[in-house]
Amino acid sequence: MSQHPSILDHLPAGAEPATIDDQGRLQVPPQPAVGFIEGDGIGPDIWRAARLVLDAAVAKAYGGDRRIHWVELLVGEKAYQATGEYLPQRVFDDIRDLLLAIKGPLTTPVGGGMRSLNVTLRQRLDLYACIRPVKWIPGVPSPVKRPEAVDMVIYRENTEDLYAGIEWPAGSPEADWFIAELKRRFGADVRPGSAIGVKPMSAFGSQRLVRMALEYALRSGKDSLTLVHKGNIMKYTEGAFRDWGYELARQQYGERTVPEGQPASPGQVVIKDRIADNMFQQVLLRPEEFSVLAMPNLNGDYLSDALAAQVGGLGMAPGANLGDHCSLFEATHGSAPKYAGQDKVNPSSLILSGAMLLEHMGWSEAAGAITPALSRAVQDGVVTYDLARQIEGATEVSCSAFARAVAERL
Active site residues: 163, 230, 277, 301
Please report whether residue 335 would count as binding ligand NAD according to CB under 6 A: yes
Q: Which of 161, 301, 330, 343 binds ligand NAD (CB under 6 A)?
A: 330
**For ligand NAD, which residue of 94, 157, 301, 386 counts as binding (CB under 6 A)?**
386
Contact call for residue 346 and ligand NAD (CB under 6 A): yes
Residue 211, interface with ligand NAD (CB under 6 A)? no
Q: Can residue 327 be called a binding residue for ligand NAD (CB under 6 A)?
A: no
Report if residue 388 touches ligand NAD, rule: CB under 6 A.
no
298 Cβ neighbours under 8 A, 6+ residues apart: 161, 162, 163
Provide the Cα torsion 146, 273, 196, 301; round to 10°.
30
Using the rule CB under 6 A, is 45 a contact of ligand NAD?
no
- Cβ pair 304, 280 in contact under 8 A: no
Q: Measure the CA–CA gap between 183 and 306, rounded to whole angstroms.
A: 38
Selected from 32, 300, 315, 354, the binder of ligand NAD by CB under 6 A is 315
Q: Which of residues 100-119 bind ligand NAD (CB under 6 A)?
A: 105-108, 118
Segment contacting ligand NAD by CB under 6 A, of 19-27, 245-253, 326-334, 390-398: 326-334
Nearer to ligand NAD, 117 or 217 (CB): 117
Site residues for ligand NAD, window 113-152 (CB under 6 A)?
A: 118
304 binds ligand NAD (CB under 6 A): no
Neighbouring-strand partners of residue 322: 129, 327
Nearer to ligand NAD, 237 or 297 (CB): 297
Binding residues for ligand NAD, per CB under 6 A?
46, 105-108, 118, 315, 330, 333-336, 338, 345-346, 349, 386
